[in-house]
Structure 1
Amino acid sequence: MHTKKIDYSHVNLKTSIVIVYHNEAFSVLVRMINGIFRYTPSKLLKEIILYDDASESHSSIETQLKEYSKLKGGNWGEKVKFFKTEERQGLIRAKVFASREASGDVIVFLDSHCEVTPRWLEPLLSTIQENKKRIVLPVVDLINANLFGYEKAMVAKGTFDWGLHYRWDYFDWSYFNNEENNIKPYKTPTMSGGLLAISTEYFREIGEYDVGMEIWGGENIELSLRVWLCGGEVLVAPCSRVGHVFRTRRPYKGKRGLDTSLYNALRTAKVWLGEYYEKQFLPARPSAKRIDPGDLTERFKLKEKLQCKPFDWFIENIEPDLMRRHDEL
């Protein structure tokens, strides 16, 4: 069956699309928002939350966007809602604060430099409608940062090494000989980044993102592990595709002297890896020994409250290749 022939008429969840940005180009945001309105059924779109994490531009992006909507026929109406932090929070905390403004059944997080495609939302919502304790991901296609050319990405799973660096895990071509595998949502050990759909109720129940993390990096692995170990699932819906502009440099800065990716990975490892923190993570990233991970009290309380499984369960049931890859080193 082809993706276009799937009937999604049963989908009835209202969606809050959350977009956090910092120093984002006005033109990129306009393209993105127009695309959302063009390719998203109105009955499924509750709101678009634009959350400015203390951008440094001299002119307000919010003002420019409102003027565009009014003067250029954007006609976004009341569905686009604007929020702004006075002090820089970083992407992770800003996404949590933005999500708390959401009133839809489902939150869809999108990076501020994406472009959606026809029927991008319905497969995500349909998969959540079957089971609310799921994070559902689109296939992330590639958009050239200079020419904005669009290139379809290969369907793949996400995984990581013992240093908690993200890795792609591609299917053998024989997997796609089964036509159903081209359209059926499949399990993935971890998500690749910040593009995801999740029940609003479940996101709050599972503990949102770790607000003790800094700026950006590693939150995708932490949330994936937490969902898997605490009774949920992480899936990719291959019929949903969203383009992402992959840039050569980040438009935002972290704390001076702090490797935020390593800091965030350390917080993840301390809470979720159990005995593998000492046995595998520290040998893979010895510089983590010199870093203070901050207060983890609330994270351990959440782990106990959710009655989460040990990391061995994840290895045995979700990512057995993690041990195999280590043995091959």
Structure 2
Amino acid sequence: SFLWFKPNIAETVLKLFFYYSCKKKTYPKDLPTISVVLIFMNEALSIILRAITSIINRTPAHLLKEIILVDDYSSNDDLKGPLETQIKNYNAKHPGLLKIVRHERRQGLTQARISGWEASTADVVAILDAHIELNRLFIHFGRAEPILSRIKEDRTVIISPVFDNIRFDDFELLRYSVAADGFDWALWCLYEPLPDEWYALKDETAPVRSPWREVLHPCDLWLQAHISGSC
């Protein structure tokens, strides 16, 4: 867990990937608030702390209403008392920001997501795995803002931003290109080429319609309620 305490650890490890057209984007000031849900089961404590720290440091405070941890009945000891201590430390600096939901038995990935959604109180909820880390682009050019702006335009959309890969052994960030998601008959995820209509826009930041593979998916809390929490 020492990684959490190293100053600016994420800035020293993660590269900055962005499109220069991001600099030209402007967003409304009256954006909806967001709840970030992190789900885990026997995740390394240091990884969870890195995720929490990056979310706090790289999301505008006025937009981030809460971070909700959902523990699907972990057995690791450091995810009990030690995690509770870290939550208290975070909340001492950011009162009421962190909450934790603990399952009393293993209920699986889908129910963990639903539990996080049920505990959320912001306008928008983003449900993520706990082994993520926000890129510096969140603070340099904003990433919460384009997500929330798109949902503000149409509350029926579910956003799946491009996310890069962090190598497990050295935490090097590997860039992933913009692509539509898909899957084969064995249900393996595939990256599909983008349609000609998207290229015709000549805007690398333009949204593209895509199947949704439930890795990172901010959507309106109202929408989640209307699809029975199946987000």
The root-mean-square deviation of aligned C-alpha atoms, in Å, is: 2.4
Q: Does 1:129 align with 2:148?
A: no
Per-residue CA deviations over 1:162-194 (Å, capped at 9, x if unaligned) read 4544321033899657532x0111111x12332
Structure 2 residues not aligned, in runs of 5+: 1-19
Return the index of the structure with the highest Cα Rg: 1
Q: Does 1:98 align with 2:116?
A: yes
Supply the AA of the counterpart residue of 1:157.
Answer: A
Q: Which moved more, 1:2-11 or 1:120-129?
A: 2-11
Task: Find the counterpart in structure 2 of residue 25 from structure 1.
Answer: 44
Task: Find the counterpart in structure 2 of residue 231 from structure 1.
Answer: none
Supply the AA of the counterpart residue of 2:24.
Answer: K
Aligned mate of 1:16, from 31, 35, 56: 35
**Would you say the 8 A contact 2:181–2:191 is kept in 1?**
yes
**Would you say the 8 A contact 2:87–2:98 is kept in 1?**
no
Structure 1 residues not aligned, in runs of 5+: 210-222, 224-329
The whole-number CA distance in structure 1 between the counterparts of 2:25 and 2:146 is 9
SS of the equivalent of 1:33 reads: helix
Aligned mate of 1:161, from 181, 184, 206: 184
Structure having the larger proportion of residues in strand: 1
Shift of 1:58: 2.3
Supply the AA of the counterpart residue of 2:216.
Answer: L
Specify whether residues 183 and 73 from structure 1 end up closer, same or farther in structure 2 by C-alpha distance, changes over 3 A only: same
TM-score, scaled to structure 2:
0.81
Specify whether residues 77 and 66 from structure 1 end up closer, same or farther in structure 2 by C-alpha distance, changes over 3 A only: farther
Aligned mate of 2:205, from 180, 183, 197: 183
The whole-number CA distance in structure 1 between the counterparts of 2:94 and 2:104 is 25
Per-residue CA deviations over 1:139-163 (Å, capped at 9, x if unaligned) read 0101001111011101100122345
Specify whether residues 66 and 96 from structure 1 end up closer, same or farther in structure 2 by C-alpha distance, changes over 3 A only: same
Per-residue CA deviations over 1:227-251 (Å, capped at 9, x if unaligned) read xxxxxxxxxxxxxxxxxxxxxxxxx
Shift of 1:70: 5.3
Per-residue CA deviations over 1:37-74 (Å, capped at 9, x if unaligned) read 11101111111100111001124x25323433556898
Question: Which is bigger in relative contact order (C-alpha 8 A, separation at least 6)?
Answer: 2
Q: Does 1:120 align with 2:180?
A: no
Shift of 1:123: 1.2
Specify whether residues 208 and 173 from structure 1 end up closer, same or farther in structure 2 by C-alpha distance, changes over 3 A only: same
SS of the equivalent of 1:185 reads: coil
Aligned mate of 1:43, from 47, 62, 69: 62
The whole-number CA distance in structure 2 between the counterparts of 1:110 and 1:207 is 18
TM-score, scaled to structure 1:
0.58
Task: Find the counterpart in structure 1 of residue 216 from structure 2.
Answer: 195
Q: Does 1:204 align with 2:222?
A: no
**Would you say the 8 A contact 1:17–1:107 is kept in 2?**
yes
Specify whether residues 18 and 89 from structure 1 end up closer, same or farther in structure 2 by C-alpha distance, changes over 3 A only: same
The whole-number CA distance in structure 2 between the counterparts of 1:107 and 1:73 is 20
Specify whether residues 71 and 133 from structure 1 end up closer, same or farther in structure 2 by C-alpha distance, changes over 3 A only: closer
Structure having the larger proportion of residues in helix: 1
Supply the AA of the counterpart residue of 1:77.
Answer: P
**Would you say the 8 A contact 2:101–2:115 is kept in 1?**
no
